Structure 1
Amino acid sequence: MAEIKNHRIPVYAVFGTVIFKLLFLLTHYIQEDAFITWRVAQHLMDYGVIGFNGPEKISASTTHLYVFVSYLFNLIFGKENFIEPLLIFNSVLFTLGSLFLSHLLLKNAWHKAIFIFLIGILPPAIKISILGMEYGILFFLEMMLLYYGFSKGKKWVQIVLPVLILFTRVDTVIFLGIVFIIDVLWTRKIRWTYILGGILGVAGVLAFNWLYFGEIVNNTIVAKKLAYDKQYTFHQNFDNFLENFGNFWGMLKLPGDFNPLTVLLLIFEWLCFIYLIRQKEKRNFFLWIIFIFGWIKQIIFLSQKSLFDWYYWVPQILLFAPVLLFVLEQKQKRNLWLSLLILFYIIPMLTFQTVHSIATGNGEWNYRRTIGLFLNTYEKDKNQWIFLEPAGYVPYFSGLKTIDEVGLVDKKVQDEIRKDKKNFWMNTVKNRKPKYLLSYDDLFQSENAEYLKLHYKLIKEFRVKDHLKSNYKILEKIYILKPSGSDYNLYERID
């Protein structure tokens, strides 16, 4: 009976962790890209087409599976009420994924419970849970594959889960490939069922892209590669690396600062990993997988100058897992080690993320969302076009058809970039004549001011400083300490 009760302790930790993290829903910190996925899901409801503008098909969202999950939540809860249930669902899935990971790496039930909670309140884990993106379901599927597919040897899992994982994100081929390579090196045999799952997954997602969208690679990948492709000198590459170092391997992102805390964490992660793999245990197989994956994924994305921090959330968590393992399994002075870790790392990280979530939630939900709400009231004809960047909050809450400067939701922008990258923005304005322009800049002071003054008028200015107030003084202090967002100018066509 005591053994059964102990088995429930990690499950209780899952519930406790999820409930604790629900407090972060109050910050309304939701990633811009989540609203792209949710608009695509609602577009599927309204038009029966996976797209963004009218009946045109386009893979505007990075993730196919999460689009369908979001579609179901919209269907069940309605467009006005689906966000909170979906964020809770994401949080539950992520925490269940950490439960699977704890089963792979630990034996003691109490150690598993502590592991689940401490992993769950790390900054990337909080962001995976509440920002509305697909990484909750992705982490759940990947850890489920390792636990049931490779620890328990369930062959159906080895076939089915690679398909679901690849339909969540195409770049998960990196994770699946590393699992395959390490499994072959470790066991000296090939799991043909896993190969079948991989083949079905790759063939399935490519076939779906080709048959439905008429493309092999998701439009989001093509658009970002085209828009962000720049030639860097060695000096520029090095400066870029220093500015984003904390984004790659650490928990803190401090632009313009090398961030020595990240260096210390990186060294400590390696020392813990080396210490653990020297012990002859079966779990080393999974330690090798998560650690090698964490490094390879980040190196590949770093080499491609992919600086969006969500690419690094899962690797950051997996690379930190050996640190928790090392601390929890200290036979002498474990409590001291754990106390020091919590006091000097976990709590500061949690505090940092809390401040960041409150400030960024204000900048996104309380500020950027108001631009979309203003346009929703101002413009009743939802067939009118707006040209802006990015294509998340404002298009979602305004309901307007959208041209974005990267080409994520409108392929014609990509054609303009290919023809004349330097002047693509102005060429798009002249050729497409969108009714609204939303810009960071004062367009009437730009080099194209003469044309823009002739055809557009400024109708409203949106300023971050106007949204740094709160009835609660502590919130106002956080808003002022870390103002989030950008100033915008909204223009309307006059002819």
Structure 2
Amino acid sequence: MSETKNSRFPIYAVIFTVAFKLLFLLTHYIQEDAFITWRVAQNLLDYGVIGFNGETKISASTTHLYVFVSYFFNLIFGKEHFIVPILLFNSILFTIGTLFLSHLVLKKGWQKAVFIFLIGILPPAIKISILGMEYGILFSLEMALLYYGFNKGKKWAFIFLPALIMFTRIDTVIFLGIAFLVDLFWNKKIRWSYVFGGVLGVSLTMAFNWLYFGELVNNTITAKKLLYEQAFTFQQSLHYFLVSFGNFWGMLKVPGEFNPVTIIVLIFELLCFIYLVRQRQSRNYFLWIIFVFGWTKQIIFISQKSLFDWYYWVPQLLLFVPVVIFVLEQKEKRKLWLSLLIIFYILPMFAFQTIHSIATGNGEWNYRRTIGIFLNQYEKDKNQWILLEPAGYVPYFSGLKTIDEVGLVDKQIQAEIKKDKANYWINTVKTRKPKYLLSYKNLYEGNTADAFYYQTHYRLLKEFRVKDHLKSDNKILEKIYKLKPSGTDYNLYIRID
């Protein structure tokens, strides 16, 4: 009876962890890019087209699979009520992914249960669960591939899961490739069913992009590369790496160029990994897969100067897995090790993420969302255009057609970037004549031709300021808002001719 109860501990841990993290829904911290995906899903619902602005096809979202999942959640729950259900769905899937992972690296039920909870309340895990991004689905699919494919040897997993993983995000080819290479090195043979699944995944994703959008890779990748690409010297690249390393390799993102916490944690992760693989257990196979993938993904994305922190969530968690295993498997002074881990790392990280979620949720939901709501009430003609950045909250809640600075949701601006990168914003305003401009800057400032054009053709409609949203009846919340103000000041302009 106790054996059966012990085996159920991981399931109980999944339920408890999901329920515990639901408290973070109260912070209203939802990532800007989630609203891009959800608007694409609603565009599919309204126009039958995967796009962002009516009947124009564009892969504005990074993820195809999550677009379709979001579409069904909108269909079932309605546009007004789907957000909480889909966030719950993401959290459940992610936590099931940690369940699969626990089965691969631990033996005892109580160890798996503690592992699921401790991993589940780390900052990246909280963000994966409740920020509305596609990583809950992605993490569960990747861990299911390791569990059912490489652990259980199920051919269906090798054939179908790579296709679903690739259809979620095209950059998951890194994960699939690392798993293949480690498996080949470990078993000295090729799993042809996995090769077939990988080829199928790449082929289906690129075929879908080509046949539907007329492109091989998602527009989001093309747009970011076009706008952000710069020529760096070796010294500049090295400096960039060191600056980025401090913030993105670990779980604690802090201002400045040096993050000592990251260095300490990274060294401890390496030491724990070396300690575990020296034991020569069968699980080493999976430790090598997740650890090599974590390092590879981090290095590739930092080297490509990718600053968006969601690229690093899954690697951050996987690199930390050996630390939790090491602590849970201590035979002597286990309670001391576990207490030290919880008191000096887990709880501070959890507290940090709680404060971050409350502050950022205020800046996004209580501030940036209000801009979209204001425009939704002010402008009844939803065929009017707005030029802005970013393309998440404001377009979603305003319902207006959108040109974003990067070109994620509108390809025409990419043509302006190619023609004249330095002046593409003003050139777009002159050629497209959007009714609304939302800018970080005062467009009237300076004695330039651009400023004169804005003064002549646009009127300042409303100023939006972060400082106006740092108040709360709850004094603790108000202190958090002021401790970490989140958001950007905006000026909203309306065309007058």
Q: 1:476 aligns to what SS in structure 2?
A: helix
Counterpart CA distance in 2 for 1:184 and 1:341 is 35
Give the conservation status (yes or no) of the 8 Å contact 1:273–1:322: yes
Alignment of 1:185-196 (within 5 A): 185-196=185-196
Give the conservation status (yes or no) of the 8 Å contact 1:122–1:349: yes
Return the match for 2:465 from 463, 469, 490. 463
Name the structure 2 match of 1:178.
178
Alignment of 1:359-370 (within 5 A): 359-370=359-370
Counterpart code for 1:304: Q
Alpha-carbon deviations, 1:206-247, whole Å to 9, x = none? 000000001111000000000111122344334433432233
Alpha-carbon deviations, 1:129-156, whole Å to 9, x = none? 0100000000000000000111011111
Alignment of 1:274-423 (within 5 A): 274-423=274-423
How far does residue 249 in structure 1 lie from its aligned partner after superposition? 1.3
Counterpart CA distance in 2 for 1:353 and 1:47 is 38
How far does residue 5 in structure 1 lie from its aligned partner after superposition? 1.6
Alignment of 1:37-52 (within 5 A): 37-52=37-52
Counterpart CA distance in 1 for 2:238 and 2:361 is 31
Counterpart code for 1:44: L
Name the structure 1 match of 2:488.
486
Give the conservation status (yes or no) of the 8 Å contact 1:14–1:95: yes
Q: 2:269 aligns to what SS in structure 1?
A: helix
Name the structure 2 match of 1:25.
25
Name the structure 2 match of 1:267.
267
Give the conservation status (yes or no) of the 8 Å contact 2:43–2:49: yes
Name the structure 2 match of 1:167.
167
Stretch of structure 1 that moved more, 230-239 or 114-123 = 230-239
Counterpart CA distance in 1 for 2:117 and 2:469 is 34
Counterpart CA distance in 1 for 2:486 and 2:177 is 38
Give the conservation status (yes or no) of the 8 Å contact 2:245–2:302: no
Counterpart CA distance in 2 for 1:302 and 1:332 is 39
Structure 1: tracts of 5 or more residues without a match: none
Counterpart CA distance in 2 for 1:87 and 1:233 is 42
Give the conservation status (yes or no) of the 8 Å contact 2:94–2:136: yes
Alignment of 1:102-141 (within 5 A): 102-141=102-141
Counterpart code for 1:485: G
How far does residue 201 in structure 1 lie from its aligned partner after superposition? 0.4
Counterpart CA distance in 2 for 1:195 and 1:237 is 35
Counterpart CA distance in 1 for 2:170 and 2:26 is 32
Alignment of 1:42-121 (within 5 A): 42-121=42-121
Name the structure 1 match of 2:226.
226
Counterpart CA distance in 2 for 1:281 and 1:242 is 35
Counterpart CA distance in 1 for 2:347 and 2:246 is 18
Counterpart CA distance in 2 for 1:316 and 1:348 is 16
Superposition TM-score, scaled by structure 2 size: 0.99
Give the conservation status (yes or no) of the 8 Å contact 2:247–2:259: no
Q: 2:438 aligns to what SS in structure 1?
A: strand
Counterpart code for 2:13: A
Give the conservation status (yes or no) of the 8 Å contact 2:244–2:302: no
Give the conservation status (yes or no) of the 8 Å contact 2:247–2:262: no
Give the conservation status (yes or no) of the 8 Å contact 1:244–1:253: no
Q: 1:70 aligns to what SS in structure 2?
A: helix
Name the structure 2 match of 1:441.
441
Distance 1:254 1:234, change over 3 A: farther
Alpha-carbon deviations, 1:139-188, whole Å to 9, x = none? 00000000011101111111000000000000000000000011011011
How far does residue 256 in structure 1 lie from its aligned partner after superposition? 1.5
Counterpart code for 1:471: D
Counterpart CA distance in 2 for 1:307 and 1:460 is 31
How far does residue 106 in structure 1 lie from its aligned partner after superposition? 0.0
Name the structure 2 match of 1:201.
201
Give the conservation status (yes or no) of the 8 Å contact 1:244–1:255: no
Counterpart code for 2:276: L
Counterpart code for 1:173: V
Counterpart CA distance in 2 for 1:300 and 1:494 is 47
Counterpart CA distance in 2 for 1:65 and 1:320 is 28
Structure 2: tracts of 5 or more residues without a match: none
Counterpart CA distance in 2 for 1:412 and 1:178 is 37
Superposition TM-score, scaled by structure 1 size: 0.99
Give the conservation status (yes or no) of the 8 Å contact 1:122–1:350: yes
Give the conservation status (yes or no) of the 8 Å contact 1:243–1:254: no
Name the structure 2 match of 1:6.
6
Say what the alpha-carbon RMSD is for the aligned residues. Answer: 0.8
Give the conservation status (yes or no) of the 8 Å contact 1:243–1:255: no
Q: 1:195 aligns to what SS in structure 2?
A: helix
Give the conservation status (yes or no) of the 8 Å contact 1:369–1:397: yes
Alpha-carbon deviations, 1:22-76, whole Å to 9, x = none? 0000000000000000000000000000000010000000000000000010011
Alpha-carbon deviations, 1:412-469, whole Å to 9, x = none? 1110001110111111000000000000000000431101100000010000000000
Counterpart CA distance in 1 for 2:257 and 2:28 is 28
